[in-house]
Amino acid sequence: MTSSRQIQLPDTLCYEIQRRFGAQFENIEQLVTFVLEELLRDDPARMDEAEQRTIENRLRDLGYL
């Protein structure tokens, strides 16, 4: 089992995270872990793929895709 730490986030940020990504992640901790793990990857190509998915999701949320 991995140990963990607590962090504090503003309520407004948590609300927006749940509103936008609640269907994709079970909770905020899962989303934050995913994002930070992606940022720490050494492979730039994987980061580009993650950035591409993020952009596509944003465009989809805005109704452009």
Q: Is the pLDDT of residue 7 over 70?
A: yes
Residue 52 lies in a domain: yes
Residue 2 lies in a domain: no
Residue 3 lies in a domain: no
Residue 6 lies in a domain: no
Q: Is the pLDDT of residue 6 over 80?
A: yes
CA distance linking residue 55 with residue 52, whole number of Å: 5
Domain housing 40: 11-61
* pTM of full prediction above 0.75: no
C-alpha distances in angstroms, 15 versus 6, 22, 27?
Answer: 18, 10, 11
Q: What is the pLDDT of residues 9-60, one digit of tens each?
A: 899 999 998 999 889 898 999 999 988 887 787 666 666 777 888 888 988 8
Residue 45 lies in a domain: yes
Provide the number of structural domains found in the chain.
1
The whole-number pLDDT of residue 29 equals 92
Residue 1 lies in a domain: no
